[in-house]
């Protein structure tokens, strides 16, 4: 975990600004549960921050989580993880007491691009907890599984 800490600490101030900005933009009139995410990507020597927020809908099932918004934005912008583009970690901020982990759908979507991405969760006091995706999402269904069927 200390490698992850070394990665996070120098960027923390900036990441928290991104998380606060997107948390403010949360569209959550039904749940009032504001979530923001920031995907931190390294492409060559450049760091890229992709923010996202949860977007709810009056047809509840059409709502989408902040994590998936960030992931889909990153892919749309061309930041597919490859030899030159590393998805370093995803930071989450939910202004509640507990540390909120990604839901099952977001775990699956994240695993497509980095099966063991560190997840940095901030609570309302900006305390943080770090978990690796593998710890909370074992035996992942992956692109490899599809290749084995052909």
Residues with a catalytic annotation lie at 67
Query: Which residue's C-beta sits nearest to Zn ion?
Result: 65
Which of residues 11 and 137 has its CB atom nearest to Zn ion in the complex? 137
Which of residues 18 and 65 has its CB atom nearest to Zn ion in the complex? 65
Residues in contact with Zn ion by CB under 5 A are 65, 103, 106
Cβ–Cβ < 8 Å for 69, 110: no
56 token code pair: 């709810």
Neighbours of 126 (CB within 10 A): 12
The continuous run of DSSP H or E covering 132 comes out as: strand 128-132
Closest among 87, 91, 77 to 15, alpha carbons compared: 91
Which of residues 11 and 93 has its CB atom nearest to Zn ion in the complex? 93
Which of residues 37 and 88 has its CB atom nearest to Zn ion in the complex? 37
Sign of CA dihedral 39, 120, 116, 53: negative
* Residue positions counted in the chain: 150
Report the nearest approach of Zn ion to the CB of residue 100 (Å).
10
Question: Residue ranges of the alpha helices (H) in 1-148?
Answer: 2-8, 12-24, 66-76, 104-111, 133-136, 143-147
Report the nearest approach of Zn ion to the CB of residue 141 (Å).
16
């Amino acid at each position: 975990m200390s490698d992850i800490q070394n990665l996070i600490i120098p960027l923390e101030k900036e990441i928290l600004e991104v998380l606060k900005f997107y948390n403010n933009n949360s569209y959550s009139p039904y749940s009032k549960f504001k979530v923001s995410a920031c995907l931190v990507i390294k492409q060559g020597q450049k760091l890229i921050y992709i923010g996202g927020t949860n977007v709810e809908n009056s047809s509840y099932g059409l709502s989408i989580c902040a994590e998936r918004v960030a992931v889909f934005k990153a892919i749309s912008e061309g930041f597919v993880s490859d030899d030159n583009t590393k998805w370093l970690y995803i930071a989450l901020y939910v202004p509640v007491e507990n540390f909120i982990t990604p839901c099952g759908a977001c775990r699956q979507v994240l695993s497509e691009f980095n099966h063991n991405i560190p997840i940095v969760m901030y609570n309302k006091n900006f305390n943080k907890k770090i978990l690796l995706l593998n710890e909370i999402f074992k035996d992942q269904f992956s692109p490899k599984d599809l290749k084995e069927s052909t």
